[in-house]
Structure 1
Amino acid sequence: MTSGLCIRPFESRDAGDWGRIFHAAVHAVGARFYSPEQCAAWSPEVPPVERVLAHVEGRQVWVAVDDTDRAQGFIELEPDGHIDCFYLSPDCSGRAVGGLLYAQLEAAARVACMPRLYVEASEPARRFFLRQGFQEDARRDFDLRGVAMYNFAMSKLLRG
């Protein structure tokens, strides 16, 4: 727990906050590195609850919640070691929330004997993952909704 925050498993009631955090992070934090067009392609709107619930199906998802149990960030782990979404409310910047969420994810991956973790990290997330011991494998350039985008394929061996 840090600054009144704790980490717990995602619950369906968190889906609205998931969408709010995702959209806000893309347009506040992502906007420091990506153009307005890129941010609009990345998150054109707050995703509806039904889409969020379908998205998280089959994944382990942890949520950082404040002392009122309102979500402030989340991280997702797929069964093969892929970290898909990892977003924090822009208000949580510099409060060690990302580190707490990541520590929970890595601990679960180790318990599950996953040999490695991997992620396609945005420009701002790239620095975070480098600090967690990930290596940058390649820059990925792609189109999203007709807009040129990029991120970074990164990985971390957990054993061997």
Structure 2
Amino acid sequence: MAYSIRPYQDSDAEELADVCRAAIRGIGPEAYSNDQVEAWLAQHPGAALYRERVANGATIFVAAGEDDEPVAYALLEPDGHLDHLYNHPAHTRKGLALNLLATASLYARHHGIKRLYTEASDLARPSFEEAGYIATEKREFEIDGVPIHNWAMEKTVD
């Protein structure tokens, strides 16, 4: 299957919410407990999130299949915070995460963003590292009383 990276369209919101939930449910258990996966899922309110974030200046890059259906995406905030990188489980290991991260880096370079940073899951960390991000700390925290962790990571944009 051929994939393309394209800008977000308002009609993508529901499908991006589905991609996010499918990724957390389908891939999350590879590194996190069931309680952690359920707590993580509870933090994602659905399609309205994408519309609100874009209205507040975020840029979303969408990896779409041949039918133009979103299968992965990255959400970049104006300050360089890469807040989401999700890939539908049926479309992993195809280079989409790296392509989305490369697109975000190019966008940052063209828009004067000098530093990209994120909080990566154990599952996303290898893709971020391959894209040039460096882990600065392991972040231990709780979501609704459930202990979980991720990695603070950053990259300088040249």
Q: TM class, shorter-chain normalised?
A: over 0.9
For 2:117, give the aligned amino acid: Y
1:146 Cα deviation from its structure 2 partner: 1.7
Cα distance in 1 for residues equivalent to 2:27 and 2:40: 12
Greater displacement, 71-80 / 37-46: 37-46
Aligned with 1:51 (options 49, 52, 59): 49
2:137 is the alignment partner of 1:114: no
Q: Would the alpha carbon gap of residues 52 and 60 (structure 1) be closer, same or farther in structure 2, given more than 3 Å must change?
A: closer
> Which aligned segments of 4 or more residues in structure 1 are displaced greater than 6 angstroms?
none
Q: Which residue of 1 aligns with 2:149?
A: 150
Please give the secondary structure, in 2, of the residue aligned with 1:29: helix
How far apart, in 2, do the equivalents of 1:117 and 1:94 lie?
A: 23
Aligned to 2:135: 136
Q: Which runs of 5+ in 1 are unaligned?
A: none
Q: 1:136 to 1:48 in 2, by over 3 A?
A: closer
Three-state SS of the structure 1 residue aligned to 2:149 is strand
- How far apart are residue 59 of structure 1 and its match? 0.3
User: Retained in 1: the 8 A contact 2:81–2:117?
Assistant: yes
SS in structure 2 of the partner of residue 94 of structure 1: coil
Gaps of 5+ in 2: none
Residue 56 of structure 1, CA deviation: 3.8
Q: Is the 8 A contact 2:101 2:128 kept in 1?
A: no
Alignment of 1:3-152 (within 5 A): 3-44=1-42, 47-57=45-55, 58-152=57-151
**Shift of the alpha carbon at 1:113?**
1.8
Q: Indicate the percent of aligned positions where both proteins have the same amino acid.
A: 32
User: Aligned Cα RMSD in Å?
Assistant: 1.5
Q: Distance in 2 between matches of 1:157 and 1:51?
A: 27
Residues of 2 paired with 1:97 and 1:48: CA distance? 22
Q: Deviation per CA, 1:31-87, whole angstroms, max 9, x where unpaired?
A: 100000000000039743223322443201010111111100100111111100010
**CA distance in structure 1 between the aligned counterparts of 2:53 and 2:37, rounded to whole angstroms:** 20
Q: Is the 8 A contact 2:24 2:37 kept in 1?
A: yes
Aligned residues: 157
Contact 1:63 1:73 in 2 (8 A): yes
The separation in 2 between residues aligned to 1:79 and 1:52, in whole angstroms, is 14
Q: Is the 8 A contact 1:20 1:46 kept in 2?
A: no
